[in-house]
Amino acid sequence: MKLFRHGSVGAEKPGILDRDGVRRDLSAHLPVLDGAALADGTLERIAAIDLSSLPVVPEGARLGAPLPRPVNFVCIGLNYADHAAETGAAIPKEPIIFIKAGSAYSGPFDDVVIPRGSTETDWEVELGVVIGREARYVAEADALDHVAGYCIVNDVSEREYQTRRGGTWDKGKGCPTFGPTGPYLVTRDEVPDPQALDLWCEIDGKRMQNGNTRTMIFGVRPLVSYVSQFIALMPGDIIATGTPPGVGMGIKPNPVFLRAGQTMKLGIAGLGEQMQRTVAAA
């Protein structure tokens, strides 16, 4: 299933994509699409609904992130060897974990706000893993049993804040709107192999990133297991699993960064596409 939420910010309603690609409103059967709905068998009940009986979502309706703001918005750094190389970083021996601020979480087509004083705002297309069952100290063999599905995440990053302003990466990763997510939560049954997905990003129509999840250093199974050793993952939480090469900071000899008035478009095979316009902070 491809699930989504539609409507204005803070008033999103659940929806589902039917077999013909028509967006249908699901709110008569599911008032809220959240972590609890992923954990209590609701998905199985939704699968039995005659989707043709559901009302069509109006054309042009806003699509929000597919779930409400997660308890834990976990990100993995430098998880593609070729991306680590383009940034001049060593390949990590263990996954690099950081937490993206909740206020960064935003819809897949909402504007991305370039922070005041920013000169190095960058793009990162990533596979997002959506947790469906609470995960604590999960064995790698059991990791996918705790996954509800997958989504697209744009891990927008301010590189100066991230690397040259002291402290951890978080200040360059957690600015408002720096986490566009969605448009769909694609359930695990539709993604037989999360390590075989093409992913890409374009800036103003120019292809900048082309990658495949098979080149991850740490795949989905080990990541879910690893993170669960340190963080109690809750239903509806998201793990953004890292980005392939082609980010702005990796362009040689002169890195390229975003400015107001540009368009980011990104996608992952089978998970849909998202697009954002960049705007200057007020």
Name the CA radius of gyration of the chain, rounded: 18
The tokens of 63 are what? 């699509």
Instruction: Work out the average pLDDT over 209-218.
Output: 97
Tell me what pLDDT residue 15 has: 98
**Does position 90 have pLDDT exceeding 90, yes or no?**
no
Q: Which residues contact 139 (CB under 8 A, 6 or more apart)?
A: 225
Kindly provide the b/e burial profile for residues 102-122, where b requires at least 16 CB atoms within 10 angstroms of the residue's own CB. eebbbbbbbebbbbeebebbb
In the chain, count of helices (H) and strands (E)? 6, 19
Task: Report yes or no: 238 and 73 within 8 Å, Cβ to Cβ.
Answer: yes
112 pLDDT tier (thresholds 50, 70, 90): very high
Instruction: Work out the average pLDDT over 171-194.
Output: 97
pLDDT in tens, 246-258: 999 999 999 999 9
88 pLDDT tier (thresholds 50, 70, 90): confident
Q: What percent of the chain has pLDDT over 90?
A: 91
Note the CATH number of domain 73-280. 3.90.850.10
Instruction: Work out the average pLDDT over 30-36.
Output: 95
**44 vs 57, residue with greater confidence:** 57
DSSP structure class, residue 167: S
Tell me what pLDDT residue 235 has: 97
Helix (H, G, I), strand (E, B) or coil at 87: helix
Tell me what pLDDT residue 100 has: 97
Tell me what pLDDT residue 166 has: 83
**Does position 154 have pLDDT exceeding 90, yes or no?**
yes
**Does position 84 have pLDDT exceeding 90, yes or no?**
no
Tell me what pLDDT residue 87 has: 82
Terminal Cα-to-Cα distance of the chain (whole angstroms): 39
167 pLDDT tier (thresholds 50, 70, 90): confident
Bridge partners of residue 211, in order along the sequence: 199
Q: Residue 83, class by beta-carbon neighbours within 10 Å (0-12 exposed, 13-18 middle, 19+ buried)? A: buried
Tell me what pLDDT residue 152 has: 99
50 pLDDT tier (thresholds 50, 70, 90): very high
175 pLDDT tier (thresholds 50, 70, 90): very high
Tell me what pLDDT residue 89 has: 82
Output the average pLDDT for the chain: 96
**Does position 109 have pLDDT exceeding 80, yes or no?**
yes
41 pLDDT tier (thresholds 50, 70, 90): confident
Instruction: Work out the average pLDDT over 29-37.
Output: 95
